[in-house]
Amino acid sequence: MLGIETSCDDTGVGLVQDGRVRVNLVASQTLLHAEYGGVVPELASREHTQVLDRLTARALEEAGVRPQELDLVAATRGPGLVGPLLVGLGYAKGLAWSLEKPFLGVHHLEGHLHGALVDVSVEPPFLALIASGGHTHLYRVEDWGHYELLGATRDDAAGEAFDKVARTLGLGYPGGPEIERLAQEGDSQAVPFSVPMRGRAGYDFSFSGLKTAAVRFVQEGYAPADIAAGFQRVAVASLVGTLERAAQDTGLSRVVVAGGVTANQALRASLAATGLEAHLPPPGLTSDNGAMIALAAARRWEREGRADPLTISAEPYWPLGESV
């Protein structure tokens, strides 16, 4: 199974066989976009176009798989940036068509979820929390394909908050790993951050206030390491606290947590301390990658045995669980 992920600024090509990841290559565009302070969609599309064919050839070569041996070809269909999505989708369709193999268009968040479940066999019902640069969404998953949105961020996504606070502290992009590193040198109680939305009903999140608070704390002269540690403490507390409350209210103690922010060790430690049955992606499958798309496609193929027509479009805006 070949999975292609090009929804944003990383080109991902992954090969999965019998539920195991054989090869998972990611070509990062971080440096390309760094000087613009954000992802430039047109540049991202162009870079995906230049890289994708070579990266796919390398992935096949590393796995020792000939194109004809692939049993299906999958790509992210959405949500994401439309140009980058079209590059991956078009490439995957062309490859599937020329090899006469089934083609599947995958929801990016379903990819993240299946990346977290690569080594385990977990069936719904469970709670699913996706915390990435673009999403902070909490779902109740009653059955595969049936997602009830319990809560979401009202402003910035969790990863976006890490990125913005990192920038405030003069750190590099992506901000998550930078904040995590600096936080280790800081005192997480030294700066009076408060956990956003604490005490509110419902399961929504809000992270933009933390960025504003961080700017103020910098002006007030708090040490950057203490700001990083304090921010990380409350961001994690918000994610884990809300998840725990949802678990209690729904009676679902099995949770799947996915998305780039799950690389964060403080988040992992905090989740482990809850007593919830938490499933997170292994290293290499936390950030956007092709293997997670192949894994999601493989599961759908097993369940439904139905390919997508080559006429399907990219879906830049696509709420999880909604048909398009």
Asked whether position 286 contacts Zn ion by CB under 5 A, the answer is no
Which residues 240-259 are close enough to bind ligand KG4 by CB under 6 A?
Answer: 259
Please state at what angle helix 208-219 crosses helix 224-250, rounded to 10 degrees: 160
Task: Mark the segment that binds ligand KG4 (CB under 6 A) among 30-38, 158-166, 220-228, 315-323.
Answer: 158-166
Taking the complex as a whole, the smallest distance from the CB of residue 294 to ligand KG4 amounts, in Å, to 16
Distance CA(136)–CA(242), nearest Å, equals 11
| Residue 262 is a binding residue for Zn ion (CB under 5 A) | no
- Written as one string, the DSSP assignment of 255-293 is EEEESGGGG-HHHHHHHHTTT-EEE-PPTTSSSS-HHHH
- Tokens (6 digits) for 20: 């195991």
Residue 304 CA: distances (Å) to CA of 80, 107, 145, 161, 205: 25, 16, 11, 38, 34
Q: Is 231 in the site for ligand KG4 (CB under 6 A)?
A: no
Interface with ligand KG4 includes 287 (CB under 6 A)? yes
**162 forms part of the interface with ligand KG4 (CB under 6 A):** yes
Taking CB under 5 A as the criterion, the residue among 76, 132, 242, 262 binding Zn ion is 132
Rule CB under 6 A: say whether 180 interacts with ligand KG4.
yes
2-5 and 10-17 strand pairing: antiparallel
226 part of the interface to ligand KG4, by CB under 6 A: no
Min CB(160)–ligand KG4 separation in Å = 6
Query: Which one among 5, 110, 160, 226 touches ligand KG4, defined by CB under 6 A?
Result: 160
Element at 17 (helix H, strand E): strand 10-17
Min separation Cβ 133 and ligand KG4, Å? 3
324 close to 39: Cβ distance less than 8 angstroms: no
CB atoms within 10 A of CB 211: 20
Q: What is the DSSP letter of 196?
A: T
The helix/strand/coil state of 103 is strand
Q: Side-chain half-sphere of 79: how many Cα atoms within 13 Å?
A: 12
Tokens of 122: 């977990």
Contact string (CB under 5 A) for Zn ion, positions 288-307, x = contact = x-------------------
Among 45, 49, 132, 136, binds ligand KG4 (CB under 6 A): 132
Residue span binding ligand KG4 (CB under 6 A) among the ranges 19-27, 127-135, 204-212, 268-276: 127-135
Dist CA 220 CA 252 (whole Å): 43
Radius of gyration in angstroms for the set of CA atoms belonging to the chain, rounded to a whole number: 20
Judged by DSSP in three states, 4 sits in strand
Shortest approach of ligand KG4 to residue 46 CB, angstroms?
20
Residue 84 interacting partner from ligand KG4, Zn ion, none (CB closer than 5 to 8 Å by kind)? none
Query: Is there binding between residue 176 and ligand KG4 (CB under 6 A)?
Result: yes
Interacting stretch for ligand KG4, rule CB under 6 A, among 98-106, 175-183, 216-224, 302-310? 175-183
Given the rule CB under 5 A, which residues bind Zn ion?
132, 288
Given the rule CB under 6 A, which residues bind ligand KG4?
132-134, 159-160, 162-163, 174-177, 180, 259-261, 263-264, 287-288
